[in-house]
Structure 1
Amino acid sequence: MKGMLPGLDVLRFLLACYLVVFHTLVTYPEARTMPLADLFKFGGCATSIFFILSGFILSHVSVETKTGEIKRVSASKFFINRFSNIYPIHIITLVLSIALLAVNSHPFDTDLSNLDSAPPIIHTMSGGEMAVNAVLQILLLQAWNPFYLSFNIPSWSLSTLFFFYLLFPALAPRLLSMRRKSMMLLAMWAASLLPPLIVVAGGWYGVWTIGMLHTNPLIRLPEFLAGILAYGIFAANAERITRIITRYQWIIFGCLGALFIGATFLFTAGLRSWEVLLHNGALLPAQVAVIFVGASVMQTASPRVTAWTRRLGNASLSIFALQYPIFIAFLKVQKLLRMPNSLLSCVHQPHLCSQAASQVQVHFSAYPVYLVVVLVASVLFQERIVVPVRTALRRVLRRRWDTARPAPLSVPSVAETP
């Protein structure tokens, strides 16, 4: 049994919380002028750390060492575990999002892919587009659509992660068996930077190119592979890395914090070229350093603290998937409670209530309530719904796999040989 890394569970949870604020805070006009509000506009950095962290953690828990240095991953066990973990979260939150769209006044509207600093471009989907995107969502293929993301918009990252999972059993053992992992990590950094450099050199900031950079699983794959290589480096030098981080932790924290603040300033106030580069790859070494710090801290935490960090870390995907439907429902409830019409009249005249609700301005004062609701709901959703469904799904998939797998050929003994 490999050791626990509670610091990485905390990091997963904090990244999920940051992305919740990144996606929802911009809805409130008064929040845009708040001091330090720009620090919550760098969601691309948090997503990249999440992808790198996924490769790191999966290498820690899934790669086995057999007969010395030979690395292997049990593909069937890995696929069943990963699919049963991610798909219930995705499909349940997708149903919630569709139910909320059904009561929306503009259910076919979605945002086209664009730079984070640019105003949103609204696109009204046709019935055919809705049907195609519904199929993509069900099959976890929505991240391959570079133009826009419909239904539960943040779930594109689940689609990208699913693609990473398909490649992990084949690629992880090979990457972890390499002798020069540091050189390969630099190669992954270069691979991450190549697509945005091409975009910047050509000045191609249109919907298709930005959509490809933001969500395309092949373009984001080097980040995931960098996480696998980073784990190999950390595992081989864990004691040394931990000792250095422990000795110079405040200097390291200060440098990483200053780098994040400076990068955020360039991202929000700099040229479009800086935004594209910082969103895709420019900060990869610093992001790996953040994960090394997370893996090094809290190693002596008490069992009680470790149990709580594991609960919060396990809920990170649920936080990310639930944030959007809960936020849409939260805004609707706010508007219903503040509109002049009585709630009873909405039963008889829903169109009038819908029109009145659209005129109500939501207030930022209720936003902390939303944050508490989404965090508590996500932890309960993970533990009370996802875990039981995941357990049942794994049982069914393993039974079917065992049934479909051909029985091993029996070799006759010497006594049976004629």
Structure 2
Amino acid sequence: MKAMLPGLDVLRFLLACYLVVFHTLVTYPEARAIPLVDLFRFGGCATSIFFVLSGFILSHVSAERKTGETMTVAAPRFLINRFSNIYPIHIITLALSVALMAVNSHPFDTELSNLDSAPPIVHTMSGAEFAVNAVLQILLLQAWNPFYLSFNIPSWSLSTLFFFYLLFPSLAPRLLSMRRKWAMLAAMWGASLLPALIVVASGRYEVWPIGVLHTNPLVRLPEFLAGILAYGIFEANVDNITRTIARYRWIVFAALGAIFVGAAFLFADGLRSWEVLLHNGALLPAQMAVIFVCANALQTGSPRVTVWTRRLGNASLSIFALQYPLFIGFLKVQKLLGIRYSMLSCVHQPHLCSAAASRVQVHFSAYPLYLILVLVTSVLFQERIVVPLRTLLRRVLKSRWDAARPAPLPATSMPKTQ
């Protein structure tokens, strides 16, 4: 049995929490006065680390050594497990988002793809656009739309991850069996940076190029492949990496912290070219170093610590998918509680309550309550809803796969020779 990596579970959880703050804190004007608030505006870095981390963890869990340096991945089992893990989360949070859109005064409004530092551009979808994007969402293809992120906005990353899962069984064994992993890793860094360099060189910071850079699965694929290669390097050099991190621990922490802080402020206040490059590939070596450091953390933790880190890590996708519908619902409840009408009168005159609620200012003092709500709800959602649905879905898909496979040919007896 492969060793547990509780430090990576903690990293998954912290990345999910960071992205929650990144997506929601900007809603409150008071948040601009928070010291060092720009440190929470660098969501692109956290998403990139998550993609690299996904390749790393999947290689650790799913890749098996066949003979010598040859690696293999059991494709049917892997794809069934991955699909059953991600699709219940996606489809339930999609349904929640659609329900919230139905009670919105402008249900077809969505934001166009844009630089993170630029003000949002609102686009009203037509009926045809709504229908097409609904189909894309159901099929987990929404990340291929470069123009805007409709319905549950953060779910584009689930769509991108699903594309990575489809490629993993064929690409991971080849990458993990390569001898020159460092050279290929450098190539992945270049491939990750190349689209951003093209956009910067052309100066086209428009909706379509930025949308492609942010969400397109092919553009983000090098990050995932870099995570697979990083695992191959880590596995082959784990003792040396562990000793180096232990010897220079504080230097490594200080260097990575300084890189993140400097990049975060440059991302928030620098030129648009820096924002694009930092979002797509410029920090890939530092992001892999973070994963190496976390892979060595908490190795001597107690069983109780390991159990909790696993629970929090397993809830990371649920945190990421639930954050948006929960936040929209949280804001609506805040606004309804701030109007002068009773809840009963809102049932009979919803238009009056809706108009009054739109004028209510939400209070930043309630924001910590939302953060607690999303964390507790996500852990319970993962364990009480997603896990049972995942188990059922795996049972159904595996039984159908077994039934669809051709039966093995009966063994034939060889004629005896006289």
TM-score (norm 2): 0.99
Q: Note if 1:252 corresponds to 2:267.
A: no
- Separation of aligned partners in 1, 2:264 and 2:120: 20
In structure 1, C-alpha distance between the alignment counterparts of 2:90 and 2:359, rounded to whole Å: 32
Partner of 1:233: 233
Q: CA deviation at 1:411?
A: 3.2
Q: Deviations over 1:118-173 (max 9, x none)?
A: 00000000011000000000000000000001000000000000000000000000
Residue of structure 1 in register with 2:13 after alignment: 13
The Cα offsets for residues 174-229 of structure 1, whole Å up to 9 and x where unpaired, read as 00000010110000000000000000000010000000000000000000000000
Q: Counterpart in 1 of 2:328?
A: 328
Q: Deviations over 1:247-305 (max 9, x none)?
A: 21111111100110100111011000000000000000000000000101111111110
In 2, distance between residues paired with 1:131 and 1:161? 23
Which residue does 2:101 correspond to in 1? 101
**What's the counterpart of residue 355 of structure 1?**
355
- Are 2:352 and 1:346 aligned? no
Counterparts of 2:411 and 2:70, CA distance in 1: 27
Q: Residue in 2 aligned with 1:66?
A: 66
Query: Any idea what SS the aligned residue of 1:241 has?
Result: helix
**Following superposition, which runs of at least 4 residues in structure 1 exceed 3 angstroms of deviation?**
415-418
Find the counterpart in structure 2 of residue 139 from structure 1.
139
- Aligned counterparts, 1:377-416, within 5 A: 377-414=377-414
What code does the residue aligned with 2:318 have? S
Partners of 1:183 and 1:161 lie apart in 2 by 25
* Corresponding residue number in structure 2 for 1:120: 120
Q: Does 1:34 align with 2:60?
A: no
- The one-letter code sitting in structure 1 at the alignment partner of 2:365 is S
TM-aligned CA deviation for residue 417 of structure 1: 9.8
Deviation at 1:17, TM superposition (A): 0.1
AA of the residue aligned to 1:4: M
2:314 counterpart of 1:314? yes
The one-character-per-residue Cα deviations of 1:32-58 (angstroms, maximum 9, x if unpaired) are 221111000000000000000000000
Matched, 1:301 2:301: yes
In 2, Cα distance between equivalents of 1:253 and 1:373: 31
Q: Gapped runs of 5+ residues in structure 2?
A: none
Structure 1 unmatched ranges of 5 or more: none
- Measured in 2, the distance between the counterparts of 1:340 and 1:153 equals 32
State the alpha-carbon separation in 1 of the partners of residues 163 and 319 from structure 2: 20
Whichever residue aligns with residue 177 of structure 2, its letter is S
Which residue of structure 2 lines up, in the alignment, with residue 168 of structure 1? 168
Whole-Å separation in 2 of the counterparts to 1:99 and 1:398: 32
Any idea what the Cα deviations from partners look like across 1:224-251, whole Å, max 9, x if unmatched? 0000000000000011101111121111
For the structure 1 residues 74 and 109, does the alpha-carbon distance in structure 2 shift closer, same or farther, using more than 3 Å as the test?
A: same
DSSP-derived class of the 1:361 partner: coil
Shift of 1:415: 5.1
CA offsets 1:364-416 (integer angstroms, 9 cap, x no match): 00000000000000000000000000000000000000000001222312258
- What does residue 196 of structure 2 align with? 196
CA distance in 1, matches of 2:79, 2:167: 10
2:260 alignment partner, SS class: helix
Q: Which moved more, 1:335-344 or 1:283-292?
A: 335-344
- In structure 2, the residue matched to 1:269 is 269
What is the number of equivalent residue pairs in this alignment? Answer: 418
How far apart, CA to CA, are the structure 2 residues paired with 1:72 and 1:280?
Answer: 30
TM-score of the superposition, structure 1-length normalised? 0.99
Partner residue in 2 for 1:156: 156
Q: How does 1:194-233 map to 2 (within 5 A)?
A: 194-233=194-233
Q: Secondary structure at the match of 1:110?
A: strand
